[in-house]
């Protein structure tokens, strides 16, 4: 009889905890309007090598084991986005025998034609297309020296 009562007690506590978690998940579905999580963009600027901007190297630098996922989010999104656009550029090169000749052709034939939407980047970072190198860069305007690598 004691095992039966204990089983009912454990079951009741489990149901109470699960129902609390379900309510919590429902509240989590309401997103903060200022959050970038889940937002997409097709805004890609033209890369200017002479502009005062910081160019990201997309390397994960995590020094706190608790905050590691947050510290890794931006660089991982950058890496995935760069690979996605690089693949579209490679397919264009394979079919046309060349890369896009300018920024406008890149936007029309790569981004718009493939309906590419990239994740919004955190911290004021933006996407920029480097025409001569046929590469997507991640940049942030800065008052420092041009093209300083991300620390």
Residue with tokens 């502009």: 51
Fill in the DSSP letter of residue 32. -
Residue extents of the structural domains in the chain: 40-59+66-151
pLDDT tens-digit readout, 64-77 = 888 888 788 888 88
In the predicted structure, residue 7 carries a pLDDT above the cut 60: no
Per-range mean pLDDT, top range of 10-24, 38-52, 101-115: 101-115
Pairing between strand 118-119 and 40-41?
antiparallel
- The 10s digit of each residue's pLDDT in 78-131 is 888 899 999 999 999 999 999 999 999 999 999 999 999 999 888 888 999 999
In this prediction, residues 3-19 reach a mean pLDDT of 59
pTM: 0.68
């Amino acid at each position: 009889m004691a095992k039966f009562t204990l089983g009912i007690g454990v079951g009741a506590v489990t149901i109470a905890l699960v129902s609390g978690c379900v309510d919590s998940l429902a509240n989590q579905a309401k997103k903060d309007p200022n959050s970038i999580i889940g937002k997409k963009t097709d805004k890609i600027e033209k890369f200017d090598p002479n502009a005062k901007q910081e160019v990201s190297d997309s390397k994960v630098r995590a020094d706190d084991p608790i905050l590691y996922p947050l510290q890794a989010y931006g660089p991982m999104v950058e890496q995935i986005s760069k690979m996605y656009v690089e693949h579209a550029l490679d397919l264009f090169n394979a079919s046309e025998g060349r890369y896009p000749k300018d920024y406008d052709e890149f936007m029309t034939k790569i981004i718009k034609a493939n309906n590419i939407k990239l994740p919004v980047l955190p911290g004021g970072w933006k996407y920029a297309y480097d025409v001569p190198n046929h590469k997507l860069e991640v940049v942030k305007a800065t008052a420092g020296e041009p093209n300083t690598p991300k620390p």
